[in-house]
Amino acid sequence: MRSHRLRLAAAGSGRAWMRAAGFVAFWLVPAISSAQLFVSPTIVEVKAYPGGTQSFTVNVGNSGAGDLDCKLTLSAMEVTDVGLPMEVSDASRSCRDWITVTPETFALKPKQGVRVNGRINPPKSAGGGYYAILAVHGAPQRGQTPRVPGERIRAGVEFSYRNLIVIMLTVPGPEIRAVVEAAKPRLLRDPYSDSLVLEVPVRNRGNTHIRMQGRADIRSEAGGVVEALEFTSGRGLLLPAHQRLYRSKSRIKLPDGSYLMKLSLIPEGRQAQPMETHFPFHLRNGDPSAAELTEAQKAELRAQSQGFLLSPTEAALSAPPGARRTQSVDIANLTRDPLTVRAAIMQWVRDGASQDLVETRAPAAHRSAASFLSGSLGEIELPPLGRRRVPIAVALPREASGEYYAAVCFQRAGLDASETARSRARHSLLLRVGGQGTRAPAAVLTALQVRRKPSGAFEFDLSLRNSGNAGFVPEVTFNVRDADFNVTGKLLATEKVSFIQAGGEARIVMDWNQVLDAGEYQLEAVVRYDPSLPALVARKSFSAPAVSGP
């Protein structure tokens, strides 16, 4: 793991500084920040017997053009819920105090490397797995700071580097094993995509580490295969006395109905036996639940369910204006009965809360692609547990410019057609249709607010509008700056941001729970929506009151 620290050096007379206060141009000198620290390996796995000694080596190098002063430090290690190593002052199974490394400090010339020798000596009472972090800190050797032409002010940027090396020690003994326990899975609904989210807390009660993989297979009530989920977050190393959160999100929108999930936790190698469990769950109005249903409730849910699965549920087509393209959608019958499905071309709108709506009529100023679509729609017959592929033709007008939106809504014949626009979106194909070479992205930040909640936390509220002719997924960062304009905290809105249609709006609200010293601050919102365009920046001043004691 590598981090960079940036330090700004400035010196000069008060008068020169005041003259520069209106607009300060800092000259960045490449030679100051040209050093680059690297380490190998980043994970050291060592086996040492109780009371014995084992050696290991680590290579540290400078691949840049500047000199580096390096220092090594050892710390205890823990692993976060999502699997990131973290330096801590102490941990229950730390081997930090058993490790010595030489040299602890050294200088590196450009393109020079050093071999660090380490020795680890576990006590006779040790047994199992123990862990530590060896941190390598590299700082550029201090030199003369460059002078800004015409002023008595010097400015420059210095980068420092910090690489973390994970040390994993195994001490053999008679009772060395991993004991893995999985808590009850949690089923959630992603509020921005309507997808199913599965979370499984897993804990290791043993005395050594283990590497795990996870998989969840979903079948319909009738036994049809729906989807296989791989755990992409929380997968991998599980330390003793640690808990990890295995997490996965469905790539498709499951229709309402009853399902069966087979959950498998698979250790690498032969350290432990695979763990498997089966449990039923259901979706009603898009909300998942593992609560047990009565036979009457199952029958009611079965009668209200669409009974089929669409793939894909979203698609993007790009073509030159005047050209034609075809998008196919697969419809799978999840039941043991024949189904008749009706298809209709409708309007797709994503509202300011990032919710998909499938409407019968387009709102004012909406960029509709409904008139571009055609195909063998109408009624589609599906055999029991069978599937059909339905082609949809798209003809882009010659005058088309930018991006347009439409939906093809599929509905089981015989169901009540009086649905909400939100529920229709869960069984529709949502289409983006764009003219090649005609994108003109643009965005406007319309509001930025800071509110203090009764709990003492701050709420950041950003509104933006897509004023261009093409959709985008913005990258949003909130920076908290103090009175000296230094960044004291940062929030990345990774899970709060989704696709914004051309002409659409979005609102991003996040809580800031970090304690701030009493004083004046600025909230800075930075929005990047296209790599070829500059970021949008908005700022809002706010005050943090003094926190009274108990």
| Least confident among 149-158, 319-328, 408-417, 520-529 | 149-158
| Most confidently modeled range among 27-41, 157-171, 429-443 | 429-443
Do the bridges between strand 68-79 and strand 85-88 make them parallel or antiparallel, or are there none, so unpaired?
antiparallel
- What per-residue confidence (pLDDT) applies to 419? 82
- ∠ CA(92), CA(95), CA(100), 5° rounding? 155
| Most confidently modeled range among 265-274, 396-405, 451-460 | 396-405
**Amino acid sitting at position 476:** V
- What per-residue confidence (pLDDT) applies to 217? 92
DSSP letter, residue 424: H
**What gap in Å lies between CA 9 and CA 11, rounded to an integer?**
7
What is the Cα Rg of the chain in Å? Answer: 29
158 burial type by CB count under 10 A (0-12 exposed, 13-18 middle, 19+ buried): buried
- What per-residue confidence (pLDDT) applies to 317? 94
- The pLDDT > 90 percentage for the chain reads 53
**What gap in Å lies between CA 272 and CA 177, rounded to an integer?**
8
- Which distant-in-sequence residues (6+ apart) come within 8 Å of 14 by Cβ? none
Mean pLDDT on 433-446: 94
Q: Look at the chain and count its residues.
A: 550
- What per-residue confidence (pLDDT) applies to 83? 76
| Residue 230 in this model has a pLDDT that exceeds 50 | yes
Alpha helices in 315-393 (DSSP H): none
**Amino acid sitting at position 86:** M
DSSP letter, residue 107: E
- What per-residue confidence (pLDDT) applies to 2? 46
Of 315, 294, 321, 270, nearest to 436 (Cα)? 321
| Least confident among 203-207, 251-255, 268-272, 324-328 | 268-272
Q: Which two tokens stand for residue 368?
A: 């509709």
- ∠ CA(320), CA(349), CA(354), 5° rounding? 115
**What gap in Å lies between CA 435 and CA 318, rounded to an integer?**
6
Judged by DSSP in three states, 19 sits in helix
Q: In what order do the strands lie in the sheet with 99-102?
A: 37-40, 54-62, 113-120, 99-102
The better pLDDT of the pair 312, 141 is held by: 312
DSSP labels, 249-294: E-SS-PPSEEEEEEEEEEESTTSS--EEEEEEEEEETTEEE-----
Asked if 2-171 and 180-304 have one fold, the answer is yes
- ∠ CA(310), CA(312), CA(316), 5° rounding? 145
Cα atoms found within 13 Å of the Cα of residue 37, Cβ hemisphere only: 29
**What gap in Å lies between CA 233 and CA 84, rounded to an integer?**
11
In CATH terms, 180-304 corresponds, of 1.10.530.10, 3.40.47.10, 1.10.1040.50, 2.60.40.2360, to 2.60.40.2360
- pTM, whole model, 2 decimals? 0.71
- What per-residue confidence (pLDDT) applies to 6? 38
Query: Where does residue 354 fall: left (phi above 0), alpha (psi -120 to 50 degrees), or beta otherwise?
Result: left
Superfamily of domain 2-171: Immunoglobulins (2.60.40.10)
The CATH number assigned to the domain with range 308-435 reads 2.60.40.10
| Most confidently modeled range among 190-199, 242-251, 316-325, 493-502 | 316-325
pLDDT tens per residue, range 282-331? 998 889 998 888 889 988 888 888 999 999 999 999 999 999 999 999 99
pLDDT tens per residue, range 56-102? 999 999 988 888 999 999 999 988 877 788 899 999 999 999 999 99
- What per-residue confidence (pLDDT) applies to 548? 56
Distances from the Cα of 358 to the Cα of 286, 347, 350, 410, angstroms: 15, 6, 9, 11
| Residue 170 in this model has a pLDDT that exceeds 90 | yes
The better pLDDT of the pair 86, 153 is held by: 86
pLDDT band at 245 (very low <50, low <70, confident <90, very high): confident
- ∠ CA(219), CA(221), CA(222), 5° rounding? 90
The better pLDDT of the pair 385, 144 is held by: 385
Q: Where are the domains of the chain?
A: 2-171, 180-304, 308-435, 443-544
pLDDT tens per residue, range 7-58? 333 333 333 333 333 222 222 333 333 448 889 999 999 999 999 999 999 9
| Residue 482 in this model has a pLDDT that exceeds 70 | yes
| Residue 473 in this model has a pLDDT that exceeds 60 | yes
Are the C-beta atoms of residues 13 and 152 closer than 8 Å to each other? yes
CATH class of 443-544: mainly beta
Express the helix, strand and coil content of the chain in percent, nearest 5 each.
Answer: 5, 55, 40
| Least confident among 393-402, 442-451, 509-518 | 509-518
